[in-house]
Amino acid sequence: MSDTLIPGVYQTTKLDRALGWARKYSIFMYPFVTACCGMEYMSVASSHYDIDRFGAGLPRFSPRQADVLIVVGTISQKMAPVLRRVYDQMCEPKWVIAFGACASVGGPYDNYSTLQGIDRIVPVDIYIPGCPPRPEMILDGLMKLQEKIQNQKQDLI
């Protein structure tokens, strides 16, 4: 059968799959960078790693324009309410990536002033391990997020 449309025959697709595919390749990240992992995050935008080929090349610096919050680095107890406010300002659907050991579990800082994982204040979808994580791990985490976005039920708002 040819690729042309034949009168009386309809080509159908699942709307969830089409929306998932569109959202998968149009990721607008809000980088919440607070520590040394920021250098590794910046390196994925270089020509060697090229995060733009995954549809995530344009970071947004307003939470109202972003759909992925990427928390890069150590979050102190004083910074936690600010992070929560940024998360609350994001529109649905929204996803969160915990980038590195500090954002995931507090890193080497086991003290009263460091938040022991951002999952205590915001729900986390993807954890990227490492201190700091290599750019390859960042791309792997991004691909896992894309797979999650593609396969979840898409809400029609």
Residue 117 belongs to a domain with what CATH number? 3.40.50.12280
- Which residue blocks in 78-154 are alpha helix, DSSP H? 80-89, 100-105, 135-151
156 pLDDT above the threshold of 70: no
In a domain, residue 106? The reply is yes
For residue range 89-129, what is the model confidence (pLDDT) as tens digits?
999 889 999 999 999 998 888 899 999 999 999 999 999 99
In a domain, residue 49? The reply is yes
pTM for this prediction: 0.83
One-letter amino acid at 108 equals P
In a domain, residue 102? The reply is yes
Mean pLDDT in residue range 22-40: 87
In a domain, residue 20? The reply is no
In a domain, residue 15? The reply is no
Domain count, the chain: 1
The angle subtended at Cα 120 by Cα 115 and Cα 123, nearest 5°, is 130
In a domain, residue 23? The reply is no
In a domain, residue 104? The reply is yes
List the domain range (segments joined by +) for residue 125.
28-148
In a domain, residue 17? The reply is no
Nearest residue to 75 via CA among 85, 90, 88: 85
Nearest residue to 27 via CA among 75, 74, 90, 120: 90
Task: Work out the mean pLDDT of the chain and round it to a whole number.
Answer: 86
**Alpha-carbon gap, residue 39 to 79, rounded angstroms:** 20
